[in-house]
Amino acid sequence: MGAAHAKDSLWSLDLFRCESITLRSCWVLAIIDVFSRRFVGFAVELGAVDGPVVCRMFNRARAKQPLPSYLSTDHDPLFRFHRWLANLRVLGVEEVKSVPYTPVSHPFVERMIRTIREELLDQVLFWNQLDLERKLSAFQIYYNRYRSHSAIGGIPPENKRGPRHPRTLSLNEFRWRSHCNGLFELPTTA
């Protein structure tokens, strides 16, 4: 299987819960492209989540993007609902289940969720669903375009095919660029 065929052919997704400053629970569905480590998308839902809601969340999270051939999920009962399975069948996506009770068999999305929690949600508060969506959207741009990833040679996922050895800049040739409303500051060329 060539690299061009492997790109975007396997996505991994999972759900996690977080609380707003007003102590309202929000569920977040996060999707990552396993090949490029790109944060594909997310969807946020306030309150209870069931099979139809998970389908809507998946369709919102992947909106306007080509579908993968395979989708990796864990053994959460939400991913066993008839509606979820029918949605994947209609979309022509084959589901690949992780090993039961083994979080390390689903490492890429679990690591991304940990990164979202540590780098964003542990640092900033959010008021409601819309506020969380805005902050996650800014984080997605930062994660895909600017954040270096040691697993892919220290480059951002959107630059995966870019240069592996960027030139070293002198201290006079850069400035600091703010991301996620000042949460992250990264050097960039002046």
Instruction: Assess if residue 59 is contained within a domain.
Output: yes
Question: What's the domain range around 77?
Answer: 7-158+165-189
Tokens read off for 136: 């996650």
Instruction: Assess if residue 122 is contained within a domain.
Output: yes
Instruction: Assess if residue 1 is contained within a domain.
Output: no
Tokens read off for 27: 């569920």
Instruction: Assess if residue 96 is contained within a domain.
Output: yes
Instruction: Assess if residue 179 is contained within a domain.
Output: yes
Q: Which residue has the tokens 């007003």?
A: 22
Q: In total, how many domains does the chain have?
A: 1
DSSP 47-82: S---HHHHHHHHHHHTTTSPPPSEEEE---GGGGSH
Secondary structure tally for the chain: helices H, strands E: 5, 7
CATH code of residue 29: 3.30.420.10
Instruction: Assess if residue 131 is contained within a domain.
Output: yes
pLDDT at 125: 92
Regions of the chain short of the pLDDT cut 50: 1-5
Instruction: Assess if residue 2 is contained within a domain.
Output: no
